[in-house]
Amino acid sequence: MSQHHHYTWPRLPDVHHRVACHFCDTLHEVDLIEEGRAAHCQECGSVLYRNRPSSLQRAVAFGVTALSLFVLLMWFPFISMNAQGNLSEVSVPGAVLGLWMRGGQFIAISIAMFVIILPLLMLLSLLYLCVPLLFGRTWPASNMVMKIFQGFHAWVMVEVFFLGAIVSLLKLVKLAEIQLGIGFWSAGGLMICLAGAVAGIDRTELWDRLDAANSLRKEAK
Ligand SMILES: [Zn+2]
């Protein structure tokens, strides 16, 4: 009986990463693990990193879907309301602009930040890293982009603020009849796909893949 072990993600033999446990800060040497497995902390047992099956494909698939939903969110009305017989539609960029003009700068900036800028930056940086890696390559400045991407470590917070911004957006309109538009449903889908894209690949794996692809690039020169 033959057993297949998949250690799919590439790494350089001379590079050793260390990873600290999120809970107890114990340092561990990163070893390549089998696909579908997770490495656990030797002190407290919490998960250090995972080798997810077809990680790049999953991250890219969720990422591209999220990007399409983002376009829908920007383009289509978030809500439409009926005030005194007048139907008016509000999109997210329209709401930001309207709030800014009417003196609600703080909430305008918050909504722009957590519904537009942060999700987009996160998404673009992930795709910028993962799409060329599908072909074993990297695009320029990938290490810098990776550091930016890692800066979104507080992803859960972005998620919470995203929800908060959506709720405050809805609270702004207590008028008449409100109907949820395509933009609203896109926002929900975007949140799920964004979480799927980010969870699709482990940061430790991403660093190893970048190192391996970057060294190939240097050799080719
Ligand atoms: Zn630990």
For residue 34, how far is its CA from the centre of ligand 1 (angstroms)?
Answer: 21
Specify the number of domains making up the chain: 1
Are 69 and 193 contacting, i.e. CB atoms less than 8 angstroms apart?
yes
Please, which contacts does 43-50 make with residues 24 or more away whose CB atoms are closer than 8 Å? 46/21, 46/22, 48/19, 48/21, 48/204, 49/19, 49/202, 49/203, 49/204, 49/205, 50/202, 50/205
Residue 26 included in any domain? no
CA quadruple 136, 40, 196, 78: dihedral positive or negative?
A: negative
Quote the ligand 1 centre to 163 CA distance (angstroms).
31
Q: Distance from the CA of 22 to the center of ligand 1, in angstroms?
A: 7
Residue 2 pLDDT grade (very low, low, confident, very high; cuts 50, 70, 90): very low
Distance 44 CA to ligand 1 centre (A): 4
Query: How would residue 46 be classed by pLDDT, with cut points 50, 70 and 90?
Result: very high
> What's the rounded Cα separation, in Å, for the pair 88 and 192?
28
Q: Does residue 155 lie in a domain region?
A: yes
Is residue 43 in some structural domain? no
Give CA–CA dist 137/220, Å, rounded.
11
Cα of 37 vs centre of ligand 1, distance in Å, is 17
Residue 185 has pLDDT above 70, yes or no: yes
On whether residue 19 sits in a domain, the answer given is no
pLDDT in tens, 121-163: 989 999 999 999 999 899 999 999 999 888 876 555 556 666 7
- pLDDT tens digit string along 75-105? 999 888 777 777 888 888 998 998 899 988 9
Tokens of 192: 């799920």
Q: From the CA of 30, how far away is ligand 1's center (Å)?
A: 14
Torsion angle (degrees, nearest 10) of CA 184, 121, 128, 13: -120
Domain that holds residue 86: 54-220
pTM for this model (two decimals): 0.83
Q: Is 122 part of a structural domain of the chain?
A: yes
Asked if residue 34 is part of any domain, the answer here is: no
In angstroms, what is the span from residue 21 Cα to ligand 1's centroid?
5
Q: Read off the pLDDT of residues 189-212 as tens digits, 9 standing for 90 and up.
A: 988 898 888 888 888 899 999 999
Distance 205 CA to ligand 1 centre (A): 19
| Ligand 1 centroid to residue 56 C-alpha, Å | 27
Ligand 1 center to residue 211 CA distance, Å? 26
Note whether residue 42 is domain-resident. Answer: no
**Which pLDDT belongs to residue 161?**
64
Q: How far is the CA of 145 from the centre of ligand 1 (A)?
A: 28
Q: How far is CA 184 from the centre of its chain?
A: 19
- Ligand 1 centroid–CA 19 distance in Å is 11
5 occurs within a structural domain: no
Angle of helix 142-150 versus helix 118-133 axis, rounded to 10:
140
